Structure 1
Amino acid sequence: MYSLEATVEKILSTRRITRQDQHLLMVLGRHHQLSHHDVMLIDRIYDALHQGRLRVID
């Protein structure tokens, strides 16, 4: 089973985000009604990306 929280934790702890992770986050944002908590989790990823704390890998 998919867990947004587990995915975000993995991304932040490894400081790496895959293209697959990026795609999943984009699909979630477009096609699902997200809770406030989910939006906050995704915002943490985007903040880390903008601050250069994450590296995008294939």
Structure 2
Amino acid sequence: MKSQYRWHSIPIEALCGQIMVTGRITISDRYQIRSALLNDTLSEPEQILINRLLYGIRHGLLRIID
């Protein structure tokens, strides 16, 4: 059974800011980031923001929720 998640595309900067403020990353956030990574549409500053999110996840600063 395939799960269907809907997300609204917002700029990566706004999405990263929202994630950092709440301290949580949802599955829809992850799908939007993944889509941007796979489409290779990220600028260097956006890539840096995503790297900061990954750092936060690795070090327990951000929680992954479903």
Query: Please, what TM-score do these two structures have when normalized by structure 1?
Result: 0.88
* Matched pairs, number: 58
Distance 2:53 2:26 in 1: 12
Unaligned 5+ residue runs, structure 1? none
Please identify which structure carries the higher helix content: 1
The CA RMSD over aligned residues, in Å, is 1.2
Please identify which structure carries the higher strand content: 1
Q: Which has the higher contact order (CA 8 A, sep 6+)?
A: 1
Query: Please, what TM-score do these two structures have when normalized by structure 2?
Result: 0.79
Percent same amino acid among aligned pairs?
31
Moved over 3 A (4+): none
Structure showing greater Rg:
2
